[in-house]
Amino acid sequence: MHYVVITGGVLSGLGKGTITSSLSHLLKNSGLKVTAMKIDPYINYDAGTMNPYQHGEVFVLDDGSEVDLDLGNYERFLDVDLTGNSNITTGKVYREVIEKERRGEYLGSTVQIIPHITNEIKRRIRDVANKSGADIVLIEVGGTVGDIESMPFLEALRQLKREEGDRSVLFGHVTLVPEMGAAGEQKTKPTQHSVKELREIGIQPDILFCRSKSPLTPDTKRRLSLFTDVPEEGIVSVVDVANVYLLPELMQSQGILRYVIDHFSLKGHSFREVWKDYKYNIRNPSERVTIATVGKYTELQDAYISHKEAFSHVTGNNGIAVDIKWVDSDTLIESDELLKDVDGILIPGGFGYRGVEGKIKAAKYSRENDIPFLGICLGFQVAVIEVARNLLNYKDANSTEFDPATGNPVIDILPEQKGIKDMGGTMRLGSKKVLIKENTLASKIYGSREIWERHRHRFEVNPDYIDALTSKGAVFSGVDDEGIRMEVLEFNDRENAIATQYHSEFKSRPLSPSRVHTHLVEHALQYKLKRIGGISERSA
């Protein structure tokens, strides 16, 4: 078994997750079996209760685990389905150790960070490695070297190398090389300090991934190598790329794949490009559309990263580039102005009342102006509320999440959740079967009677209102396998609008983009061409 550990230095937000994903993509497409995992040194048990404003999107896996958004990147770059075991948190580790202690499994010994916590960390890493049957496991360590929280994890990884052997564990370190002065001189000091910090805890990096504005000069590489003992071939210059899916080739062009494969003495693996056409479309889109994404976390776009990626997947497959216009839903309460020039509207998922009235207005605006529409999860629920309020004239229609006393609870709590107070882990989560009805827009989009999609919700369409909603043109074209939960909403007079209770963005992949995002983008283009009365750039 081989391990590549990726740590971060200098400051956060350097793109460690994308770098880890890109390296794993290169290794996988060289014929190796690869998996990736993330260590999050926070005390939360999982990401489920975390505010997207602080940590970005909560990503959901097939098994229903609520995890860090980097797991989404690994899935997209590796094209695999991971499980919750691939996300280790301090909370998970301590909970397990304390439970073992309570069961008397430590036979009276004093339970300590070394060896008990570090052993539990290594056990979890090896467990993922063994169950995946991978040749190489990439382990990304969240946070920055020097953080108190990450110490036990780095110590465990140091021990892992000692136990597995030098040739089985590789340490990569992501750092920043700032450029100063008019001449843009590249400064190596922050990297030197950060490597020094790593060495103090007994870890010598083998690779440096250096973020800088312009490519590292030969002289910068020489100096970095001199001070850090990382061979020059192990120093990768990571400049900004226009699209994250272009990063693997940037890294590959610097020989990093060979370097890693040689380190592990794995013979006979060379890279096979699988994204050639995909990247061509990303670089040379033949059309562009503007999609308004209406949410309340629009200042932190990482809160909607899977939607952003899903649109990128659509572009990679059909050549229609998507400019996302981030629209803060609260601004729509006053005026529709921000939706005036868009070609399509996406309302993504969300929790809590703030921002909901603006989203309901966006759904209404889309219906009244026949603008292509996609609603996801809360966006689906909002579309239902909009029909109830404005077509059925139930003025107080709402979800009981926002107004528990409403006279018209068109969206209500799932029956099995009634009475649950604890917010952690009480939702309908993960991959569930959805049955698609024949002769509907959904059946055209999916071409299948049965799909599996990922969920994360507590509330759902109240069955008491289905007849009334249907009388106004709503069609529930997808349901769960018991036929009691509404999963897909469409309208019998609108080809360009669809909404889903599930999160199709979570399963979107570069070579198999979300079907409903594709549908939105294709209709956005039609809408745009009709609106400007112009000729398509493609047909011109």
φ/ψ of residue 520, rounded to 5: -60, -45
Residue 52, amino acid: P
For ligand GLN, give the closer residue by CB, 71 or 256.
71
325: CB partners within 8 A, 6+ apart:
290, 291, 292, 293, 338, 342
For ligand GLN, give the closer residue by CB, 458 or 517.
458
Contact status: 459 vs ligand GLN (CB under 6 A)? yes
Contact status: 486 vs ligand GLN (CB under 6 A)? no
Enclosing H/E stretch for 174: strand 169-176
Least Å from the CB of residue 116 to ligand GLN? 37
Least Å from the CB of residue 47 to ligand GLN? 13
**Residue 510: is the preceding peptide bond cis (ω within 30°)?**
no
In sequence order, what DSSP letters do the residues of 414-472 get, joined into one string? -GGGTT----TT-SEEEEEEEEEPTTSHHHHHH-SSEEEEEEEESEEE-GGGHHHHHHT
Least Å from the CB of residue 356 to ligand GLN? 9
| The binder of ligand GLN chosen from 76, 173, 389, 458 (CB under 6 A) | 458
| The binder of ligand GLN chosen from 216, 282, 305, 377 (CB under 6 A) | 377
Q: Using an 8 Å Cβ cutoff, are 495 and 477 in contact?
A: no
For ligand GLN, give the closer residue by CB, 264 or 502.
502
Least Å from the CB of residue 352 to ligand GLN? 7
For ligand GLN, give the closer residue by CB, 5 or 429.
429
Contact status: 365 vs ligand GLN (CB under 6 A)? no
Least Å from the CB of residue 401 to ligand GLN? 5
Least Å from the CB of residue 414 to ligand GLN? 8
Contact status: 378 vs ligand GLN (CB under 6 A)? yes
Cα–Cα separations (whole angstroms), residue 423 to 12, 166, 359, 404, 457: 29, 44, 24, 17, 12
Question: CA–CA separation, 348 vs 505, rounded Å?
Answer: 9
Q: Where are the beta strands (DSSP E) in 59-110?
A: 59-60, 66-67, 87-89
For ligand GLN, give the closer residue by CB, 311 or 459.
459
Least Å from the CB of residue 499 to ligand GLN? 11
Question: CA–CA separation, 502 vs 434, rounded Å?
Answer: 9
Question: CA–CA separation, 166 vs 263, rounded Å?
Answer: 9
Contact status: 84 vs ligand GLN (CB under 6 A)? no
Contact status: 430 vs ligand GLN (CB under 6 A)? no
Reply yes or no on whether 249 is catalytic.
Answer: no
For ligand GLN, give the closer residue by CB, 153 or 351.
351
Least Å from the CB of residue 351 to ligand GLN? 4
Reply yes or no on whether 505 is catalytic.
Answer: yes
Least Å from the CB of residue 46 to ligand GLN? 15
Q: How many CA atoms lie within 13 A of 141 on its CB side?
A: 28
Least Å from the CB of residue 522 to ligand GLN? 24
| From 10-18, 93-101, 339-347, 457-465, span contacting ligand GLN (CB under 6 A) | 457-465
Strands 235-238, 207-211: parallel, antiparallel or unpaired by DSSP?
parallel
Residues binding ligand GLN: what is the number (CB under 6 A)?
10
Residue from 503, 517, 519, 523 carrying the catalytic annotation: 503
| From 384-392, 453-461, 482-490, 514-522, span contacting ligand GLN (CB under 6 A) | 453-461
How many C-beta atoms lie closer than 10 Å to residue 270's C-beta?
Answer: 10
232: CB partners within 8 A, 6+ apart:
221, 222, 225
Angle at Cα 207 formed by Cα 206 and Cα 210, nearest 5°? Answer: 150
Find the length of the chain.
540
63: CB partners within 8 A, 6+ apart:
83, 84, 430, 431
Reply yes or no on whether 377 is catalytic.
Answer: yes
For ligand GLN, give the closer residue by CB, 271 or 459.
459
Residue from 455, 505, 519, 523 carrying the catalytic annotation: 505
| From 32-40, 254-262, 456-464, 471-479, span contacting ligand GLN (CB under 6 A) | 456-464
For ligand GLN, give the closer residue by CB, 350 or 372.
350
Question: CA–CA separation, 191 vs 128, rounded Å?
Answer: 31
For ligand GLN, give the closer residue by CB, 458 or 507.
458
In sequence order, what DSSP letters do the residues of 274-322 get, joined into one string? S-HHHHHHHHS-SEEEEEEEEES-TTSGGGGHHHHHHHHHHHHHH-EEE
Residue from 2, 210, 377, 386 carrying the catalytic annotation: 377
Binding mask 315-354 for ligand GLN (x = CB under 6 A): ----------------------------------xxx---
| The binder of ligand GLN chosen from 206, 401, 480, 490 (CB under 6 A) | 401
Measured on CA atoms in the order 142, 146, 152, 158, is the torsion positive or negative? positive
Q: Which residue is nearest to ligand GLN (CB)?
A: 349
For ligand GLN, give the closer residue by CB, 40 or 66.
66
Question: CA–CA separation, 146 vs 190, rounded Å?
Answer: 13
Burial environment of residue 421 by CB neighbours within 10 A (0 to 12, 13 to 18, 19 or more): exposed
User: 20-49: which residues touch ligand GLN (CB under 6 A)?
Assistant: none
Catalytic annotation, residues: 377, 503, 505
| List of residues contacting ligand GLN (CB under 6 A) | 349-351, 377-378, 401, 456-459
